[in-house]
Structure 1
Amino acid sequence: MLLCSIFTLVVGIGSVIAQEEERRFQKDIDAFEADRVENNIPEGAVLCVGSSSMRMWGNRIERDLAPLTVVARGFGGSKFSDVLHFFDELVAVYKPRAILVYEGDNDVGSGMSPEAVFGDFMEFRKRVEELDPEIRIYVIGVKPSLVRWNLRGEIAVTNHLIETACKKDPKLTFIDVAEFLLDDSGKPRAGIFLDDGLHLNNVGYHLWAAAVSLKIVPAESKFEAQ
């Protein structure tokens, strides 16, 4: 009886937390939808979704990925599971030709195993394929950071699992930003993070953008409307 009560309590707490997360992100989703309607956001663009690293890139992403037509839809604190939860409003409604995604950072940071993160990524891949099998997905690997340096092993395994899957799927491309953000000793470069030790500053985004644009711009430029 006691075990049943404890189980019920744990499930109840988990449900409350999930509902709180959903409400928190709902504000972002509602703002995205208002922007889509009011500003006639085009279909067939490169949809850029992800957590705060994607969101904070938003003020320069169009310039960094020019001449691509991009739609920035980063929402801070998100995980792959959140993108899945809001898939219809966040992804499907835009009818993208390609998706640039950055998730996994908060997933690993919250204690998820690399295998669990990979499982959510593959579910995301499945949902995209069901939406339109021709959509190309560019996956930015989880970046190294000062505050999560103790999780570098888990991050490395997560990236390896995703990169391996990308090599087997012609619609998937893995983008390794770590090689641009690490110094010659294999540690995060100095002077590329904000004071929180997690998010990139302008110097860091210059390196991040170089890594991403090197892969996605040549591949997607030929699909731009003439």
Structure 2
Amino acid sequence: MKKHFLLALLISLACCGVYAQQTFPFANEVKQFQHQDSLNFPKPGGTLFIGSSSIRRWTDMEQRFPGAPLINRGLGGTEIGQWVSYYVPYVVTPYKPAKIFIYVGDNDLAKGKTAQYVADQFSLLWQMIREKLPDAAIYFMAIKKSPARWQAYDKVDMANQIIKAITTTKTKTYFVDTATPILKAGTTLPDSALFVQDMVHFNSKGYDKWEALLKPLLK
């Protein structure tokens, strides 16, 4: 069954060529995930991380959480609306994870989307996941403030507040405050020492902060 599913996806994406890349964002990256799965499909009951580049670039995740059955399916540059429109059937539900950690919304806000839009899309994403994976625990990782995206700070705070409120109304759904630990002590501004040169993505010190926060949740 899994082989048939993977074959159908690969054929459908490959046959469309450039057109598929235009209508199905990051199609090549999704095909790479499916190729990995065809060689070694993750066992059900693992912990799935999905989202944008902050997840994709966390390349030492398995080393930081030894023993945890992790699946990293970050797609760099993705927006939350794209996860709703495209990716759930391909890189979420097939794995039947016990836990799903979501980090997305950062790019939406930077591109001018409103906090309410991001929150509404999270509700849709939650519903799609819950319909297929009724027993999975869903964790929304708070959107971080990045030094290079200071214009979106107010929207980041608002989106996190709205989504946190939404999670309190859902079963087995949790808001993880991954935003506060990266702020300078006593301020509402991000610590630039935790970011690489582009001031958008974490360096190892930034991921240290997330590791300390998430480790108890991955036991």
Q: 1:178 to 1:140 in 2, by over 3 A?
A: same
Q: Secondary structure at the match of 1:147?
A: helix
**Structure 1 portions without partners, runs of 5+:** 1-17, 222-226
1:41 is matched with which residue?
A: 42
- Measured in 1, the distance between the counterparts of 2:159 and 2:140 equals 12
- Measured in 1, the distance between the counterparts of 2:150 and 2:37 equals 37
2:14 is matched with which residue?
A: none
Describe how 1:50-61 pairs up with structure 2 within 5 A. Answer: 50-57=51-58, 59-61=59-61
- Measured in 2, the distance between the counterparts of 1:111 and 1:35 equals 34
- In the superposition, the TM-score normalised over structure 1's length comes to 0.83
1:206 is matched with which residue?
A: 208
Report the alpha carbon displacement of residue 170 of structure 1 after superposing the two structures with TM: 3.0
- In the superposition, the TM-score normalised over structure 2's length comes to 0.85
- Deviation readout 1:117-145 (Å, 9 max, x if unpaired): 11110001100111021111011010111
1:195 is matched with which residue?
A: 197
Over the residues paired in the alignment, what is the CA RMSD in angstroms?
Answer: 1.7
- Measured in 2, the distance between the counterparts of 1:65 and 1:171 equals 22
Largest Rg, 1 or 2 = 1
- Deviation readout 1:155-186 (Å, 9 max, x if unpaired): 00000011111122231111111221001222
Q: 1:20 to 1:35 in 2, by over 3 A?
A: closer
Report the alpha carbon displacement of residue 21 of structure 1 after superposing the two structures with TM: 4.9
1:125 is matched with which residue?
A: 126
1:4 is matched with which residue?
A: none
- Measured in 1, the distance between the counterparts of 2:23 and 2:160 equals 26
**Is this contact kept in 2: 1:55–1:75, CA < 8 A?**
yes
Range that drifts further, 19-28 or 203-212:
19-28
